[in-house]
Amino acid sequence: MKVVIDGDICQGQGRCFSIAPSLFDFDDLGNGVVLGDGTLSAETLELARLAQANCPEHAIFIVESS
Amino acid sequence: MSDIETKRLVSDFATDWDHTDPQWVNDPYPIWEDLRERCPVAHTDRYGGGWFPTTHEMVSSIANDTEHFTSHQVVVIHTKNPEGAPPAPMGGAPPITSDPPFHRIARRVILPAFAPGPVNALEGQVRALCDKHLNALGEAREFDAATNYAQFISPGVIAKMLGFPERDEDLFREFVHLVLDLVDLEPAVRIPMFVPMTEYFTAQIEDHIANPRDDFTSYLLNVEVNGEKLSPQHVRGTMVLTLVAGIDTTWSAIGSAIWHLATHPEDLARLVAEPELMTRAVEEFLRFYAPVTMARLVKEDFDFFGVPMKKDDWILLGFPAANRDPEAFEDADRFIIDRAVNRHAAFGLGIHRCAGSNLARMELRVAIEEFIARYPKFELADPSAVTWAQGQVRGPRSIPLRVLA
């Protein structure tokens, strides 16, 4: 599984990198970005789900790694 | 005779809402809950006519719909499309009053200054400001946490950012009071009151042109978009926005958090004992006491969730009401200090997400951290003396507090 942020939906609410700084960072405009390739372990999957559940814009998706 | 001259108290908010009615100002939450159950879109003929949707789904839908709703005016007043106001798509205070596609340009100009990097660099300054005002309280065991503490934090930060003299803080609070609180005044009374504010900004702009320095005002005067500087109207509008949006919003959030802790000793004790709760507590303060309600105007007649909206109807866009919707939040009417899942809309939703949200959140966190470190136990000295702001920004304007041993 991997986590992705849809940059067209993200408005820079700032919740993801506050909840899960090990998975997310921010760009120069304050929008969320995924660190690395977003691949999740069993442990970080829970954290990614928590960030997803707190994103007011529903911009975070957890998808099958391809 | 209009209701501007003799204001009628509201008897039914479903058909005659007024967000400046004393009942709404003192405690709007039961009103919103009632409306959500039986409307859920309330109407008023006041202010020239408008709607108040109360569910999260509707608020989110409007916030994300720039095709049917314009942000040209975001504060409900008696005048729609006033003469002399900067026209769409920029509006008077870009980017908050701007619509796409201009909105994106105006927003990109300001976002870098409010991104987490630059904001985090201000934390030490905010902490020092909090300490300064706490030190000024000395050994006092009773004081007003709104007028002696909360209201000083955000003006100090914003004044420094814009490069305005900190000693003009009282003026800034007057300006903000005019723009955001005195919204129900008759236009003939209200409009001339803007003159001192306009003159103040003119003087600051002239001073910054003559003496450029490293602050947000000089940045706005010099920044180029596609090789061109911003228009003077654009610069002024964004400066006004920064001052107005950056002051009593945050100070209201700080005040509401202190009021909550003063009236909920179990939450205060937990926050003192478990400082790691602060991140979640801040988000719950923001959800439960979201200070900011926005507004839109309907662009053209259209049907919204079965409601026949007309061109130029107001929409009072209640993010605080959305945050209490039980369809969107478990135990929506309960303050849960360690709420793990909290998709609140305190900073708005969609393209107009509060540009200063990172700054506001940091100021709120630091102001509460410093306050409870200094005063781990306190209560209201006089609950009946607590007063709340009128208008689209809600927060306590007086919090008489007693420090406990």
Which residue from B362, B353, B363, B337 is spatially nearest to B285, judged by alpha carbons? B337
Q: With cut-offs at 50, 70 and 90, classify the pLDDT of residue B2.
A: very low
Tokens representing B172 are 């800034």
Nearest chain A residue (CA) to B107: A29
Q: How confident is the model at residue B1 (pLDDT cuts 50, 70, 90)?
A: very low
| Residue whose tokens read 């707190």 | A54
Q: Would the CB atoms of A26 and B116 count as touching at under 8 Å?
A: yes
User: In this structure, which topology does domain A2-63 adopt according to CATH?
Assistant: Alpha-Beta Plaits (3.30.70)
CB atoms within 10 A of CB B80: 16
Whether A26 sits inside 8 A of B117 (CB atoms) is yes
Rounded to the nearest angstrom, the minimum Cα separation between A1 and chain B is: 21
Calculate what percentage of chain B has a pLDDT beyond 70: 98
Closest CA to B216 of B235, B200, B202: B235
Amino acid at B388: W
Average pLDDT, whole number, for chain A? 97
Using CA atoms, how far apart are residues B100 and B62, in angstroms rounded to an integer?
15
Fold of B13-403: Cytochrome p450 (1.10.630)
**Tens of pLDDT along B221-233?**
999 999 999 999 9
| Ranges of H-type helices in B17-162 | 22-26, 29-38, 56-63, 102-114, 116-120, 123-136, 151-162
Query: pLDDT confidence of B6, banded at 50, 70, 90?
Result: low
Strands A2-5 and A24-26: unpaired
pLDDT tens digits along B181-220: 888 888 888 888 888 999 999 999 999 999 999 999 999 9
- Give CA–CA dist A44/B321, Å, rounded: 33
Closest CA to B277 of B340, B366, B357, B364: B340
ipTM above 0.85, yes or no: yes
Instruction: Show the tokens assigned to B130.
Output: 């909090």
State how far the alpha carbon of B56 is from the alpha carbons of B62, B322, B349, in Å. Answer: 10, 4, 10
Contact criterion met (CB below 8 Å) for A19 and A32: no
Choosing among B276, B330, B353, B364, which should be mutated to test the A contact, i.e. which has the most A CBs within 10 A? Answer: B353
Could you tell me the residue ranges of all domains in chain B? 13-403
CA distance B111 to B401: 37
Tell the residue number behind the tokens 């100070």, with chain if given: B251
Q: Which of B77, B32, B25, B80 is nearest to B58 (CA)?
A: B32
Residues in A closer than 8 angstroms to B347, CB to CB, are: 13, 56
What are the residue boundaries of the structural domains of chain A, listed by start? 2-63
| pLDDT of B273 above 50 | yes
pLDDT digit string (tens) for A1-58? 999 999 999 999 999 999 999 999 999 999 999 999 999 999 999 999 999 999 999 9
Beta-carbon contacts of residue B400 (< 8 Å; ≥ 6 apart) = B142, B143, B144, B380, B381, B382, B385, B386
Cβ-based contacts under 8 A for chains A and B:
53
Locate B338 and state its tokens. 């360690």
Q: What is the mean pLDDT of the segment spanning B137-143?
A: 97
* Percentage of the residues of chain B whose pLDDT score is greater than 90: 85
**pLDDT exceeding 90 applies to what percent of chain A?**
97
Chain A residues lying within 8 Å of B344, measured CB to CB: 56
Other beta carbons within 10 angstroms of residue B195's beta carbon come to 9
Closest residue to A53, CB basis, from B112, B343, B357: B343
Q: How far apart are CA B33 and CA B341, in angstroms?
A: 21
Q: Mean pLDDT across the stretch B47-73? A: 97
Do B343 and A54 make contact, defined as CB atoms within 8 angstroms? yes
Is the pLDDT at B3 greater than 50? The verdict is no
- Distance CA(B374)–CA(B368), nearest Å, equals 10
Task: Count other Cβ atoms within 10 Å, centred on residue B206.
Answer: 10
Judged by CB atoms closer than 8 Å, whether chains meet at A13 and B344 is answered as no
Residues of A within 8 A of B95 (CB-CB) are none
Residues in chain B with CB shorter than 8 Å from the CB of A11 are 349-351, 353
pLDDT at position B83 over 80: no
CA within 13 Å, CB half, B271: 31
